[in-house]
Structure 1
Amino acid sequence: MNLLLLNVLVVVYLLVTLYLGYRGWVTTRDTEGYMVAGRKIHPYIMAMSYGATFISTSAIVGFGGMAGLFGMGLLWLTFLNIFVGIFIAFIIYGKRTRRMGYNLGAMTLPELMGRRFDSQFIQWFSGLVIFLGMPLYASVVLIGAARFMETTLSIDFNLALLIYSLIIAAYVVWGGLKGVMYTDAMQGTVMFLGMIFLLIMTYLHLGGVTAAHQALTDMANLVPQSLAAQGHRGWTSMPALGSAWWWTLVSTVVLGVGIGVLAMPQLAVRFMTVRSGRELNRGVLIGGVFILAMTGVAFDVGALSNVFFHATQGKIAIEVAKGNADSIIPVYINAAMPEWFVYLFMLTLLAAAMSTSSSQFHAQGTAIGRDIYETLTGKKGTGSILVTRAGIIVAVVIAVVLGYILPENIIARGTSIFFGLCAAAFLPMYTCALFWRRATRAGAIAGLVTGTFSSVLWMVFVHKKEAEALGISRFIFGRDVLITQMPWPVVDPIVVALPLAFLVTIVVSILTRPPDTAHLDRCFKGIK
């Protein structure tokens, strides 16, 4: 390995990143600039920032590794990512979010919901959910980057995690959202090029598209008995309908992330950074192509890594990775790709991790500074920005600590947990706020609380993956889960919590006094 060349590439990349963060800092002069980038961002920067924030090392390393385990079925998530996460998000949700945010002077998703329903509780409680729930998601993104650095550079995982976190904290704390979005756009471009090269190199290694996919289909008989018993039927087939693996793939991975993207606070705020709906229209194609190149390639290559490892080592991918799906993509890259590409892909992963981490930390900081501190104290201005910056530093520290202690095979699962929590807590309230004038404050609060606590309780007492790890159910009731009858222990919380929260929001709104007409006219001004 040419460490000199690698170090030069990394240093140049980091200098460019810090410079763009600096540019964000020198052009940020007020709270609006720090929170929503002045509402004048170019559509390319907005779309690439949205995509780069959405797609992280959890998608490339974590979900790519899951594709090595589950197979091509994860491509359904790519479909939802593009249709829901880009088209519906930009055209249907994004335009209304941008306009209503402008009408109400809102700078965060919790603030938008709080002002739409005239409720301080909604704003600070939503901010609390973000600040307490996002560290798990932030930490798994850090883990994905650090794992690749550990595998590629043979450096200590803990050291890689610490260095990486300090660099991100430096430009997020000072640059605000504008600095984050500038660096996101650059990092997204690097990610796109890296993934396109990865796809081409993989098919060249495996003899072309047709030969590679046929070889993967022919490997169905190599599925380990332990996985076949749970419903695994091969890497080009969906798991057996209704099996444990089918429920995990469909409810946790595909629906949890595919639907949850609509309610992600760090993504929704991007819609408030552009001048008009035209910029969102222009961003759809850019975002759609980007997401296809990111998730489609990661899932395709993750599944096809089984063909490579079987041909070269006589083992399937999860066996080569010693049971840790999070290591499949890093091990494959280092084993199958030329040295120069390993360098390029390392920059790709650094870009993916940094773009997502910076947005996560910014969202957590604004949740503390804008949504909790300002709402509870009534103090605004410079003081809240200082609290926001302090909140970012605290968020980084929490994520790093979790990165040290979380177990293996956590990257994809940690991502799904937070996406599912956001969907259950925010999506019913957010949807009704934008599209239903009759939605009331009481209905929004009821849905927010119901979605949050039903999702958490299902994870603690019913969903086996989390319930076993947490041990709360066993401590209180003497058993890992309260419902043992299949399929409930493998049904993701989003399947139960999201419909329940929607139902509660609608029913309570119907049963309570309609909101003030003048306030609604202000909220929906200019929205057709």
Structure 2
Amino acid sequence: MNLLLFNVIILIYLLITLYLGYRGWKGTKDTEGYLVAGRKAHPYIMAMSYGATFISTSAIVGFGGNAGLFGMGLLWLTFFNIFVGIFIAFVFYGKRTRRMGHNLNAMTFPELLGRRFDSKFIQYFSGLVIFLGMPLYASVVLIGAARFMETTLAIDFDVALLIYSVIIAAYVVWGGLRGVMYTDAFQGTIMFIGMAFLLLMTYSHLGGIAISHQSLTDMAHLVPGNLAQMGHKGWTEMPISGSSWWWTLVSTIVLGVGIGVLAMPQLAVRFMTVKSGRELNRGVLIGGIFILFMTGVAFTVGALSNVFFLQTQGDIAIKVAGGNADSIIPVYINAAMPEWFVYIFMLTLLAAAMSTSSSQFHTQGSAIGRDVYETISQKRGGSSIMVTRAGIILAMVIAVTLGYVLPDNIIARGTAIFFGLCASAFLPMYTTALYWKRATKAGAIAGLLTGTFVTVLWYLFIHKAEAVPLGISKMLLDRDLLVADMPWPVVDPIMVALPLAALVTVVVSLITKRMDRGHLEDCFRGLK
């Protein structure tokens, strides 16, 4: 396949994407249509949109590259993604979110929480957390797509980043969530096919399943000395329990992302787009299979790339990629796969990035328009939609700017930071909102503030990966870290902030006045 033919395929793909965005725009008649797709989404559209939003280039390129560094231990994240991110999310959170969202006429995740606890503060503060916290996550998704375009098409990274962002803006700003979900389902289908081919071709290239995995096991003696000192035992074993490598893998990557998915605003809002709980039941199988093929394949191939590079270049993946884990998957694809598949896989990554980016920007726009502007100004309708669209454009500008300045090896870490922030800030409040009538407005606010600020302060003063480069602790306290004793510098904030937020939510709720019985009956109508 030559470059001209590939460009034709890309053009067709983009035209289809823009057409689906146009369909979304034509079908969007009001605020409900723009924010929750009219609450009539097909189960396949909803499930594929959920999966495609969940899985992006950060999972395929960023976490796939980290699998080349950490090994098969990342497959625990696949387990959490399916069990927590699909089964628990759809069955235990999705149905109640859909029903309560309908009862309260909520159209965004912060609005659902704000109306459940009868608090404008919860709505606009949550909107601000999303709008200010998501740009890092959005930017690493952009970086993942642009890096592969740079490697494959030999074009400048900055140019690739700009072109990609303009394309997304063309259909997100006007099409609303309906347009986003249509394009997500189309892009998710492409992603599924591309990843299935990648797995089959990798095993075929390395001599089969048993031989390739045994070869990876036999490479344990090649673990670099600095990684071995941190607890790395090989690419088919978990790190030494309690080591810095173990804490990074388990607390930051597996738990941070695996649990954080439950409170991701751009995913939770999908539950409010279907007309009944039956659509969510149908979506569990579709979503589970999709996530298995996306993350399971990416992590397996990322780890097995070490075998390929040892056989062909005599070295391990991270060294072949120049020390940048974000480059492992692009370098492997370009080195190991035939030219025609390289182009097809680039289309897969483009679809993965666009599906997630579009949802991120739509969520940020709705946060600033619906949750902040409307809540504070009390103005609804046309002006709110315009602010939402302006918010989308501003969010895109911020993400692109960050994409130009962020360092290497940032994709997986940037994703984990936002997932962990959402879990700590929102999950205790979200869970009690759905299941515990005794939860109070004061308890929800206390938990929200605790989770948010403990997470931020932990990143600024204790978690080594962020605190040392930022230098705020050094500037204010004249020391790199507030607490330098192991294992605290490598313990992810979610391990501390989430339990504290949950405890504060419960304790404050128990000692403050119950919420109005009539309000609770409205919230829980139709829920057992």
Match in the other structure for 1:476: 476
Offset, 1:198? 0.1
Match in the other structure for 1:226: 226
Match in the other structure for 2:518: 518
Match in the other structure for 2:149: 149
Q: 1:169, 1:243 → 2: CA distance?
A: 43
Q: 2:39, 2:415 → 1: CA distance?
A: 29
Match in the other structure for 1:345: 345
Match in the other structure for 2:34: 34
Match in the other structure for 2:58: 58
Q: 2:344, 2:517 → 1: CA distance?
A: 56
Q: Deviations over 1:297-354 (max 9, x none)?
A: 0000000000000000000000000100000000000000001100110000000000
Offset, 1:6? 1.3
Q: 2:117, 2:226 → 1: CA distance?
A: 51
RMSD: 0.4
Offset, 1:502? 0.2
Match in the other structure for 2:389: 389
Offset, 1:469? 1.5
Match in the other structure for 1:105: 105
Q: 1:357, 1:328 → 2: CA distance?
A: 22
Q: 2:321, 2:164 → 1: CA distance?
A: 24
Q: Which amino acid aligns with 2:13?
A: Y
Q: Which amino acid aligns with 2:35?
A: M
Q: Deviations over 1:206-242 (max 9, x none)?
A: 0000000000000000001011000000000000000
Q: Deviations over 1:489-511 (max 9, x none)?
A: 00000000000000000000000
Q: How does 1:171-320 map to 2 (within 5 A)?
A: 171-320=171-320
Structure 1 regions of 5+ residues with no counterpart? none
Q: 1:409, 1:367 → 2: CA distance?
A: 29
Q: 2:170, 2:6 → 1: CA distance?
A: 22
Structure 2 regions of 5+ residues with no counterpart? none
Match in the other structure for 1:330: 330
Q: Which amino acid aligns with 1:50?
A: Y
Offset, 1:152? 0.2
Q: 2:134, 2:157 → 1: CA distance?
A: 22
Runs of 4+ in 1 over 4 A off after TM superposition: none
Q: Which amino acid aligns with 2:324?
A: N
Q: Is the counterpart of residue 497 in structure 1 residue 497 in structure 2?
A: yes
Equivalent residue pairs, number: 528
Offset, 1:479? 1.3
Q: 2:451, 2:55 → 1: CA distance?
A: 25
Q: Which amino acid aligns with 2:495?
A: V
Q: Which amino acid aligns with 2:378?
A: G
Offset, 1:197? 0.1
Q: 1:469, 1:400 → 2: CA distance?
A: 21
Structure 2 length as normaliser, TM-score?
1.00
Q: How does 1:1-150 map to 2 (within 5 A)?
A: 2-150=2-150
Offset, 1:433? 0.2
Match in the other structure for 2:168: 168
Q: How does 1:320-469 map to 2 (within 5 A)?
A: 320-469=320-469
SS at match of 1:155: coil
Q: 1:41, 1:100 → 2: CA distance?
A: 17
Q: Percent of aligned positions with the same letter in both sequences?
A: 79
Q: 1:301, 1:472 → 2: CA distance?
A: 38
Q: Which amino acid aligns with 2:489?
A: P
Q: Deviations over 1:224-282 (max 9, x none)?
A: 10110000000000000000000000000000000000000000000000010000000
